[in-house]
Amino acid sequence: MPQQDTSDEQYLDAPVHIAHRLRAVARAAGWYWKVALALIVLSVAAGAAIALLMPKVYSSTNTVMVVTGNSNTLGDYMTADSVSLSKADSYMQLGGSPEVAQIAAESLDGTPVHDVAFSVVPGTSQIKVEGRSDSPEGSAKVADAYAGALTQEVQRIESIATEGNNYEPPSPSPSEDGGEEASPESSEDGTGLVQVVPVSSASVPESPVSPDLRLNLLVGVGVGLLLAALYVLARSLFDRKVRSSEAVANATGLAILGTIPLDKRLTAKRGVIPTAPPRKDREAWATSEAFRQLRTNLTFANVDDPPRTVVVTSSVAGEGKSSVAANLAVTLGALGQPTVLVDADLRRPVQTELFGLTEGAGLTDVLAGAAELEDVLQDWEPGSNVHLLGAGRTPPNPSELLGSKTMRNLLARMGQDYMVVIDSPPLLPVTDPSVLAKGADGVVIVTQANKTNLDDLTKAVARLHTVGATILGAVLNQVPRKGSGANEYGYYSDAYYYSSSSRH
């Protein structure tokens, strides 16, 4: 039975997987539209260049007709019967013979090799002789020369057939008036000598038939679209960057606690966003609302035992974890919750700079017993309920210090009176966040849209699972406000969701 359930789940997941893949391809088309457009433009330009560089070819057509009978009037020639039709096909093939080419060459340049084609007009005994050349006059000369050569060769063949030893004149028969005999050149069925007569001579063309600029441009567009589609498909299949919250959830199984819109103020030296900006400042309001949503989702991450000490980290450096930690602390304080922001990134501390506070004694001094916690906590703004515990002096052994029992006791002590947000180093370069996570209630992983590598992210999550850390969820940071993959923010982002079944 369990095997059957697994199979059923696979069948149920197949449409979801296909839909996910189609969405990925559609998003890739938006991400790489500039490259796709460049491929199309280059293909069209290549088609135009080929058309301009190719030698021009002109075409002209001469038309002749296969007729039977002895009348010299064109009206009689038009009454050609099935004999003329069958002969037309045979003589059309005769046009490609060396004999015809040699005769035509005598009236041209003496070379029996030319670009010429013969075809029968369907349902008639007319033969079209198409001549091609690199000049308008040359194409008309080739068509006329080969039409004349075909006429001469047919006349020669018919003369041989008439005068040959195997030719027997038809028996005389009474004419319809009962008194005259048939002409000795007439056959029993009333047909006479087969002839090829001209219908229309070749005219000098005004424009070349090749290269066809319009056709080349259309082919260029088609090739460009194909190359663009293949490029987008390949990038969507092999792209390992975080492009959406859905990609993070699918790759890690983590809940998405929030998405933070792209805001240049978050990457500035003073990267703290006001918690209550004016509504007319749509960007600032959207960013503040995003952090309020993150605060709400974090509060309900574990209803029975809400986290009091939270580590904020990322897979690698440069994903915005420090600014997320800072603004999360400010947003928690705005709710009236006394909050301590701990700068535990002892190798590259930045929180005092973000808040515009002075550097001095901090976390390392408290852990070393050189200072008391109450003496080194810095208040950010009056009434903000936010206090900063700076990194302090850089120690020679950050991992050992952060993983010590003293550190765990300090977190537990602060967690009794404060909501504690800990800015830790990234997971993959160092072991600091892994040992720090063991003493905290939970971990939040920050990822940067269009930058974080999914492989790095999954490795970071695996490290936390290895040490038994509680991962509360992930935050997708610096999501573009416009373009492919952007959420419709308006006054706030609607891209937040939480799934308790995804929490580890």
DSSP 175-197: -TTSS-BPPTT--TTS----EEE
In this structure, are 390 and 253 located in the same domain? yes
Beta-carbon-side half-sphere exposure of residue 143 (alpha carbons within 13 Å): 29
Q: Which of 156-160, 191-195, 223-227, 339-343 has the highest mean pLDDT?
A: 339-343
Q: Within a domain: residue 206?
A: no
Residue bearing the bigger pLDDT, 25 or 97: 97
CA–CA distance from 281 to each of 269, 285, 324 (Å)? Answer: 20, 6, 20
**pLDDT value at residue 128:** 94
Q: What is the CATH number of the domain that holds 352?
A: 3.40.50.300
Tell which of 238, 254, 289 closes a domain: 238
In this structure, are 272 and 408 located in the same domain? yes
Residue bearing the bigger pLDDT, 367 or 238: 367
In this structure, are 187 and 222 located in the same domain? no
Residue 490 reports pLDDT greater than 70: no
* pLDDT class of 2 with cuts at 50, 70, 90: very low
In this structure, are 259 and 397 located in the same domain? yes
Q: Within a domain: residue 463?
A: yes
In this structure, are 296 and 190 located in the same domain? no
In this structure, are 129 and 261 located in the same domain? no
**pLDDT value at residue 475:** 95
**pLDDT value at residue 15:** 61
- Look-up of token digits 């066809």: 212
What letter represents residue 374's amino acid?
Answer: E
Instruction: Give the separation between CA 272 and CA 293, rounded to whole angstroms.
Output: 16
Decide if 392 contacts 378 (C-beta within 8 A): no
In this structure, are 144 and 46 located in the same domain? no
In this structure, are 250 and 187 located in the same domain? no
Residue 231 reports pLDDT greater than 80: yes
**pLDDT value at residue 243:** 80
User: Where is average pLDDT lowest: 412-416, 431-435, 449-453, 497-501?
Assistant: 497-501
Residue 326 reports pLDDT greater than 90: yes
Q: Within a domain: residue 205?
A: no
Helix (H), strand (E) counts: the chain? 17, 12
**pLDDT value at residue 268:** 67
Residue 314 reports pLDDT greater than 90: yes
End-to-end, the C-alpha distance of the chain in Å comes to 27
Q: Within a domain: residue 228?
A: yes
- CA dihedral sign, ordered 74, 78, 82, 87: positive
Decide if 264 contacts 323 (C-beta within 8 A): no
When pLDDT is averaged across residues 93-102 and rounded to a whole number, the result is 90
User: Where is average pLDDT lowest: 116-125, 163-172, 290-299?
Assistant: 163-172
User: Where is average pLDDT lowest: 111-120, 209-218, 311-320, 357-366?
Assistant: 111-120
In this structure, are 122 and 253 located in the same domain? no
* pLDDT class of 160 with cuts at 50, 70, 90: confident
21-38 tens-digit pLDDT? 666 666 666 677 888 889
Task: Report the predicted TM-score, pTM, of the whole model to 2 decimal places.
Answer: 0.63
Instruction: Give the separation between CA 324 and CA 155, rounded to whole angstroms.
Output: 96
474-489 tens-digit pLDDT? 999 999 887 555 543 3
**pLDDT value at residue 384:** 85
Answer whether the bond into residue 211 is a cis peptide, omega within 30°: yes
Q: What is the CATH number of the domain that holds 155?
A: 3.30.70.1130
Tell which of 147, 170, 200 closes a domain: 200
Instruction: Give the separation between CA 243 and CA 458, rounded to whole angstroms.
Output: 15
When pLDDT is averaged across residues 6-10 and rounded to a whole number, the result is 40
Residue 5 reports pLDDT greater than 60: no
In this structure, are 340 and 273 located in the same domain? yes
Average pLDDT, the chain: 81
* pLDDT class of 358 with cuts at 50, 70, 90: confident
Residue bearing the bigger pLDDT, 42 or 277: 42
Residue 282 reports pLDDT greater than 80: no
Residue 7 reports pLDDT greater than 50: no
Cβ atoms < 10 Å from Cβ of 284 = 17
CA–CA distance from 392 to each of 137, 326, 354, 362 (Å)? Answer: 92, 17, 15, 4
When pLDDT is averaged across residues 79-91 and rounded to a whole number, the result is 75
Among 10, 13, 501, 250, smallest CA distance to 2 is for 10
**pLDDT value at residue 10:** 41
User: Where is average pLDDT lowest: 267-281, 380-394, 465-479?
Assistant: 267-281
Q: In the chain, how many domains are there?
A: 3
In this structure, are 281 and 369 located in the same domain? yes
**pLDDT value at residue 228:** 87
Where do the H-state alpha helices sit in 418-492? 432-437, 454-466
Residue 497 reports pLDDT greater than 70: no
The domain of 84 spans 58-200
Q: Within a domain: residue 207?
A: no
Tell which of 137, 171, 200 closes a domain: 200
User: Where is average pLDDT lowest: 117-121, 264-268, 295-299?
Assistant: 264-268
Q: Which of 104-118, 161-175, 281-295 has the highest mean pLDDT?
A: 281-295
Q: Within a domain: residue 17?
A: yes
In this structure, are 338 and 259 located in the same domain? yes
